[in-house]
Chains A and B, each alone.
Chain A
Amino acid sequence: MDFVETDETGFEAPAPLGHPGRKGLPAGHPTGPKVGQRLPDFDLPDHTGKRIRFHEDRGNAKAAVVFFRSVVW
């Protein structure tokens, strides 16, 4: 049985308390572009190397842009 400790947000993880992988968003920390602002454009490659320029690619569609941690771990 693993030794598992719950963090202050009520979750468990496969790393010790205080591990950088368990660090969350501190209270009051800014979270980037604000509601009401135009989302800054970005130009990034997908897994095939094809570059996607966000505002051009979405055209006039509404969109969700999800920043996540990793596909590796």
Chain B
Amino acid sequence: MTQLVELRDGHQKFADAGMKLYTISYDDPEAIADFVTAHKMPYPILSDLGSKVIRDYGILNTEIKPGDIPVYGVPFPGTYIVDEQGIVTDKFFYDTYKRRDGPENMIDSAVGRIQLDPNEPTAAFMDEGIRVSATLHGAGGVLKQGSMRHLVVRFELGEGLHIYSDPVPEGMIPTTVEVNGPEGLVVQEAIVPPTETFHLKGLDVELQVWSGVVDIVIPVYPNAILLSEMRPLETNETTIDVNIRYQACDDETCLFPRNRKLTLTVPMAPVDVQALPFHQGHGQNEWDANSKKHMLRLVLRIFRQNPKAFFGGILRQIKLGRAAKAREREQKRASSSRTRNLDHDVL
């Protein structure tokens, strides 16, 4: 749901890029209609009732068994990007459904370049005519549980200048970017643009370099240590340090190597959830699009599809609930026994 709202807020960007956006779920048209009304959705949300397209694509979540309410029939969530001919040029699927992309990541992929938004948190420095910036890109650079953002380090190099990609010969400085965020901000491996081959005059070496505008992208997302849909935000902003080391050269000489730190102050926000008892009271944005009514209809649908499997699903969930209760009791026992030992030590 958080993703649908981000896509709504960035919907104009798809139009500006000449792109179309389609979203698909296993929900029925009635539930989608209430959602569209409540959230003023401007793009199509399509109903794959019975999950036929989801199955044909091979992305039905097969870890979920028939009868598992209310989730049987959902896909492994993900996104396909297609070009003018309808050919898939990129796709985004993750280990967990919690991770999801906003509009900017989809559009950048389709267009083939990163279009930073002036509203995104950014910091920059200038070194001898070279501008280097760090921007938390995507959905206004707001961190939310699981939402994929791109930390973009952009080098704007003057005519004739280049910077080096690893590996380099001894004594030269490759470009490196290191991101240090708060605990629970997962920092993934950098995505770098293709390099050009550069022949260093007087030496028989070929080097891999970048020139012009160079974007190094570091995907990041907050996990439950930083942000969780199960508790209110403790603070609504955080900082991310970006350490940048590089050396720019032209055909003949090199500028001084630089070690710079940029610090971004970035907002954090709760996620959007349905007004259902298991989501409520956790300090998130609760929305009611007749949620309870549609939940009940969904459960009945799964019952009608396969009554026998339905009861099996209920039994499995009762067992899971009991096992969780047992773990909770065990945790409480362990913690009260620790407290007793502490009291004893004090005495």
**A16–B81 contact, CB under 8 A?**
no
**B230–A67 contact, CB under 8 A?**
no
Chain B residues with CB under 8 A of A66:
3, 7, 21-24, 77-79, 106
- Looking at the assembled complex, report how far the CB atom of B269 sits from the nearest CB atom of chain A, in whole angstroms: 17
Separation of A32 and B76 alpha carbons in the complex (Å): 10
User: CB within 8 Å of B: which residues of A?
Assistant: 2-7, 9-21, 23-27, 29-40, 42, 44-49, 52, 54-55, 57-58, 60-73
Residue of B nearest to A49 (CB): B29
| Known interface pairs A66-B78, A68-B24; 5 further A-B residue pairs with C-beta atoms within 8 A, sorted by A's residue number | A3-B324, A10-B223, A66-B24, A67-B77, A72-B274
Interface segment, one of B43-51, B188-196, B211-219: B43-51
Residue of B nearest to A7 (CB): B96
15 contacts between A and B (CB under 8 A): A3-B324, A10-B223, A11-B96, A12-B229, A12-B230, A20-B317, A46-B29, A46-B44, A47-B29, A47-B33, A62-B110, A63-B22, A64-B20, A72-B291, A72-B294
Chain B residues with CB under 8 A of A35:
88-91
**Interface residues of chain A: helix, strand, loop or mixed (majority):** loop
**B25–A67 contact, CB under 8 A?**
yes
**A67–B79 contact, CB under 8 A?**
yes
Separation of A57 and B22 alpha carbons in the complex (Å): 10
**A32–B58 contact, CB under 8 A?**
yes
**A58–B86 contact, CB under 8 A?**
yes
**B44–A52 contact, CB under 8 A?**
yes
Separation of A24 and B291 alpha carbons in the complex (Å): 23
**B79–A65 contact, CB under 8 A?**
yes
Q: Which of A46, A55, A61, A69 contacts B18 (CB 8 A)?
A: A61
Q: Which of A52, A67, A73 contacts B291 (CB 8 A)?
A: A73
**B229–A63 contact, CB under 8 A?**
no
- Asked if B237 is at the interface (CB within 8 A of a chain A CB), the reply is no
**B71–A9 contact, CB under 8 A?**
no
Q: Which of B47, B80, B184, B224 contacts A64 (CB 8 A)?
A: B80
- Asked if B204 is at the interface (CB within 8 A of a chain A CB), the reply is no
Chain B residues with CB under 8 A of A27:
95
- Looking at the assembled complex, report how far the CB atom of A67 sits from the nearest CB atom of chain B, in whole angstroms: 4
**A67–B82 contact, CB under 8 A?**
no
- Looking at the assembled complex, report how far the CB atom of A27 sits from the nearest CB atom of chain B, in whole angstroms: 7
**A70–B59 contact, CB under 8 A?**
no
**A38–B85 contact, CB under 8 A?**
yes
Assuming A10-B223, A47-B45, is B25 touching A70 (CB within 8 A)?
A: yes
- Asked if B61 is at the interface (CB within 8 A of a chain A CB), the reply is yes
**A67–B320 contact, CB under 8 A?**
no
- Asked if B159 is at the interface (CB within 8 A of a chain A CB), the reply is no
**B71–A13 contact, CB under 8 A?**
no
Q: Which of A11, A21, A33, A57 contacts B145 (CB 8 A)?
A: A11
- Asked if B63 is at the interface (CB within 8 A of a chain A CB), the reply is yes
- Looking at the assembled complex, report how far the CB atom of A16 sits from the nearest CB atom of chain B, in whole angstroms: 4
Chain B residues with CB under 8 A of A9:
95-96, 98, 223
**A62–B82 contact, CB under 8 A?**
yes
Chain B residues with CB under 8 A of A55:
86
